[in-house]
Structure 1
């Protein structure tokens, strides 16, 4: 099977999974918000947010390990794959210990004056924090297995595990809504951690039985030189991811400190919507990233750059398809979805979706830079850029600016960070600015403007209603596909799509 066919097959598998999990997750959020109430939902998001921000850390470390795994796969070296896995297990055990110490230390500061939580809910908040720490440690330890699944492009296993995860979340939401006799916030924290642990055990057992390189034998397969290489690469990835984690959680802390837990509830709703809709694009990236790393490992830089630019454009279009009607009809959608819509939830979510679209233009450049391996200077610049919006927001909040300020600043950050990625892609990979601008930026921005202008027309002639929502969706879908055919896709991509449609229909 060719690399392109593999990407298409894996993307298809992951989209079937998305069709199941997105609606389950969004419905679960509705149940949880209703069961906990705005204040407890805000508490969970600001406390568990400290842990959920470690997703950035986990993804970065998984990317680092996957880069070495995929590189070895591309070179066809099974012995090196075994060494990489064993080294990564040791590396992530050390990281888990470090993170545990840091989180326990940070907890004392968070709950002794930084977070604004009512005294009667402080014990429950501390309990949730401890539950999330346990979940985080298991997540970090499981990174090598996650990297193996990605390196082997086993998206079916990933899809099954993700579906089980969504069903767990739905079961927990139903349980705390209708069955639990205990404190709902504490029960939710405990069961969330327990489900994460169960899923990670499932992943570990599956990988151990499926792939020979996952056998742990430190005496035979621990390579000190490889450990130093992975430590160096992973250390800089850790540095960049830690900055993003601090920045994102700093956003939650600032909003909580200046505006209280109700604004954190709005932030949690916005993050949930953004995460679920954005998963449609990240799904394709998950299928594409192994191809980028393997192409570089096989010495095919041209294919790697082509895959990077094509992936950036296609993933942007996938977001665009869902984001445009959501951006336009968000107030009505939120009223349908939630029993009690937190203040600022709509504006937060709109700004976050715009930021995600900007990020998407440059997102795959991260994978390309990581595949090449020279990431030290890139990560230093990334870390500096991550922290600027939080620092500036603090001073603006002191001056009396509103909570939306930080979201506007992060949009500016996304543009600046994208240019930084583009610069290092030129420096390290030889990527042409003009080629990237013509193939990705111009096509994507023109598509966005065209579809948005056409789709917003019904707003000026029809009142907010289910009928108008349907009209916007239909108009957006038609204009989206026409825009792609006219100037969104390149000629060879159109031919590839038409050929697959013919095969599917025959």
Structure 2
């Protein structure tokens, strides 16, 4: 019991640290983007982003391997097998070094050809664009080699280090934003060089921290064929899911452009910006929760694993719903306040994207549980195959004349199909009870959502748009959501936990 309480405290502490990191990075990122845009100018800023985007296309490869590395390290920590930990870490670094070499080769051949002969870049800026390309490749390779170190920090649940080093990186990028204004050379080239330098400093910081705190993080060349086969096999099957997500998001954007034009792409882009800002809260929570799911599976504590899967699914949804509902009922006013001129389709795109994010949020703990087992072939074939249907179904519906938002509607429907497939597969993989999940998670969040939205929707319908009314409706939405979560969404044990925490806070305030 005490061990479970300690784990819950660690999850809560790590989540708070990651929230602090997220809020700081969000503010710094928004400000840095503005300063860099002003210093470089629109054309150079666009060149940096589009050239860096060529290199970023390779992230689908690195992302699959990153998930594999994180899972293997966390799993062995749960089993407390120190000898295997060092072997896995060294193998992970070897894999990333090899992958970095392959990407360098591809980028310096196909990527360089595409940049110089296919991209629409002014001749006067082509030399600077090539320098940006070279330093973007080096920056990507450095970040790639940092992955095993990042995975070790997350697996050990040292989120304070993860948060502080990320903040150091943000401060470095903010410093760059001011330095390029007094650049002694071409600003665009100077910016690319400094970004590479910051990546190198961050890489050294991660490496130094891991070597000092984790005994397994000392690299020795390792070529364990069986282990490498397992890791590449895991990454290979995980590649299906990663590719399906890219086809859904980027492919959907392309077919919207084909049928509806760039103005609708802009509306969709605005929706995704709103979604990314809100969704970071759930991402941070799951980053803190994921190691506990994997470790409990590795140690054989299936009962605790099921508890945190169910609680994690509900809490992920509640946290996202608490932030999303005020946006959902005030979408038009928020976009008007932010953008002044709201593009056509933007309001409905934002609302549908947030509903899609809510649909996906309850699946995150299930995905982590699946990764923990290591047996992902059938899962990725079935769920990844379902997700790949997003593109052809959306294409057909747009071709016969449906509205642009149908792409997100399709994604929501397929997301629910994927949830059903995950539950059926995990019933066999980890003996997950579908009945308990539907009762304790799915039915629970549906009832909470229906009760929470009634009063905010009525208020938004009858109250005229203004800043004061926006605050009022948002407060109504937050109060209704918190009340619904507390009285309906929480069980007796969770309500007792909330009472204890509130009592502790009250006593501290009283003593002061």
**Same-fold call, TM cutoff 0.5:** yes
Paired with 2:367 and 2:385, the residues of 1 have a C-alpha distance of: 16
Residue 388 of structure 1 deviates from its aligned partner by: 1.7
**Residues 183 and 363 from structure 1, CA distance in 2 versus in 1: closer, same or farther, beyond 3 angstroms?**
farther
Paired with 2:184 and 2:327, the residues of 1 have a C-alpha distance of: 37
Query: What residue in structure 2 maps to residue 105 of structure 1?
Result: 110
Secondary structure in 2 matching 1:213: coil
Paired with 2:416 and 2:308, the residues of 1 have a C-alpha distance of: 22
Paired with 1:399 and 1:183, the residues of 2 have a C-alpha distance of: 50
Query: What residue in structure 2 maps to residue 316 of structure 1?
Result: 317
Query: What residue in structure 2 maps to residue 406 of structure 1?
Result: 407
Moved more, 184-193 or 485-494: 184-193
Q: Is the 8 A contact 1:281 1:319 kept in 2?
A: yes
Correspondence list, 1:206-221, <5 A: 206-218=209-221
**Residues 99 and 343 from structure 1, CA distance in 2 versus in 1: closer, same or farther, beyond 3 angstroms?**
farther
Query: What residue in structure 1 maps to residue 147 of structure 2?
Result: 143
1:453 equivalenced with 2:479 (yes/no): no
Query: What residue in structure 2 maps to residue 440 of structure 1?
Result: 441
Residue 329 of structure 1 deviates from its aligned partner by: 2.0
Residue 67 of structure 1 deviates from its aligned partner by: 1.7
> So what's the TM-score if we normalise by structure 1?
0.86
Correspondence list, 1:40-55, <5 A: none
Aligned residues: 501
1:21 equivalenced with 2:25 (yes/no): yes
Moved more, 333-342 or 28-37: 28-37
Q: Is the 8 A contact 1:347 1:404 kept in 2?
A: yes
Paired with 2:313 and 2:436, the residues of 1 have a C-alpha distance of: 13
Which digits, 9 at most, give the CA deviation of each residue in 1:170-224, with x for residues without a partner? 5566778x77899988877776666445433432332233322111112xx5533
Q: Is the 8 A contact 1:26 1:273 kept in 2?
A: no
Query: What residue in structure 2 maps to residue 204 of structure 1?
Result: 207
1:429 equivalenced with 2:430 (yes/no): yes
Secondary structure in 1 matching 2:219: coil
Secondary structure in 2 matching 1:216: coil
1:96 equivalenced with 2:100 (yes/no): yes
Secondary structure in 2 matching 1:214: coil
Paired with 2:269 and 2:178, the residues of 1 have a C-alpha distance of: 19
**Residues 360 and 70 from structure 1, CA distance in 2 versus in 1: closer, same or farther, beyond 3 angstroms?**
same
Correspondence list, 1:53-92, <5 A: 58-92=62-96
**Residues 184 and 310 from structure 1, CA distance in 2 versus in 1: closer, same or farther, beyond 3 angstroms?**
farther
Q: Is the 8 A contact 1:134 1:193 kept in 2?
A: yes
Residue 229 of structure 1 deviates from its aligned partner by: 2.0
Residue 49 of structure 1 deviates from its aligned partner by: 5.5
> So what's the TM-score if we normalise by structure 2?
0.85
Paired with 1:398 and 1:125, the residues of 2 have a C-alpha distance of: 37
Q: Is the 8 A contact 1:270 1:352 kept in 2?
A: yes
Moved more, 312-321 or 406-415: 406-415
* Unmatched 5+ stretches in structure 2: 508-512
- RCO higher in structure (CA 8 A, sep ≥6): 1
**Residues 222 and 444 from structure 1, CA distance in 2 versus in 1: closer, same or farther, beyond 3 angstroms?**
same
Moved more, 463-472 or 241-250: 241-250
Paired with 2:156 and 2:213, the residues of 1 have a C-alpha distance of: 11
Query: What residue in structure 2 maps to residue 244 of structure 1?
Result: 245
Moved more, 444-453 or 43-52: 43-52
**Residues 145 and 131 from structure 1, CA distance in 2 versus in 1: closer, same or farther, beyond 3 angstroms?**
same
* Unmatched 5+ stretches in structure 1: none
Residue 422 of structure 1 deviates from its aligned partner by: 1.6
Which digits, 9 at most, give the CA deviation of each residue in 1:277-308, with x for residues without a partner? 11111111111111111111111112112111
**Residues 40 and 424 from structure 1, CA distance in 2 versus in 1: closer, same or farther, beyond 3 angstroms?**
farther
Correspondence list, 1:168-317, <5 A: 168=172, 170=174, 195-218=198-221, 222-258=223-259, 263-317=264-318
Secondary structure in 2 matching 1:464: coil
Paired with 2:462 and 2:442, the residues of 1 have a C-alpha distance of: 32
Moved more, 35-44 or 307-316: 35-44
Query: What residue in structure 1 maps to residue 498 of structure 2?
Result: 497
Query: What residue in structure 2 maps to residue 482 of structure 1?
Result: 483
Q: CA RMSD in A?
A: 3.5
Residue 460 of structure 1 deviates from its aligned partner by: 2.3
**Residues 498 and 430 from structure 1, CA distance in 2 versus in 1: closer, same or farther, beyond 3 angstroms?**
same
